[in-house]
Copies of this chain bind each other. A is one copy, B any other.
Amino acid sequence: MNYETLLREHHLKVTPQRLGILSLMHTMGHINIEELYAQIKEQFSSISLATLYKNINAMVENKLVTEVKVPNVKSKYEITKEPHIHLLCSACSEFIDLDLDLHPLLDAASSKSHYELHGSCIVLSGLCEKCQKEL
């Protein structure tokens, strides 16, 4: 993925900090501000938290980045991709992404057999494969 053109396409100036943020977001998948700040500081030791917020906000406004809000977990951010479902593992708080063609999943959710509906939001909580095995 070319982050430089990605920024340009979204009418955002290209800066080293922004390239770093996008690169991290890409490799880490869903990431929250805290984690992102800890990581980015290894590259840009003097980066300000305000800068991070300003950039994230700018990117979210331009829909380059998407904010994922779910109950009990800090907002996570990801580079915008095709519409999809975030299945939240209730054990390790990792997301598993599923595409929108989720009819069997929805059925499972409403019957509460395998997946638990987390709150009344349609974001579903369940155990990821990793955690499933550890039970």
The yes or no answer to A128 lying at the interface (CB within 8 A) is no
The 9 closest A-B pairs by CB, nearest first: A69-B69, A122-B122, A83-B117, A66-B120, A66-B119, A100-B110, A67-B71, A85-B122, A68-B121
Tell me which residues across on chain B come within 8 A of A109, comparing CB atoms. 83, 100
Main secondary structure of the interface of A (DSSP, over half): mixed
Tell me which residues across on chain B come within 8 A of A106, comparing CB atoms. 100, 102
The chain B residue sitting closest to A103, CB to CB, is B103
Question: Measured between C-beta atoms, what is the minimum distance from A63 to chain B in Å?
Answer: 9
Interface size on A, as a range, is 20 to 34
- The answer to whether B120 touches A68 (Cβ under 8 A) is yes
**Known A100-B106, A103-B103, A121-B123; contact A69-B67, beta-carbon cutoff 8 A:** no
The yes or no answer to A43 lying at the interface (CB within 8 A) is no
Tell me which residues across on chain B come within 8 A of A86, comparing CB atoms. 120-122
The yes or no answer to A84 lying at the interface (CB within 8 A) is yes
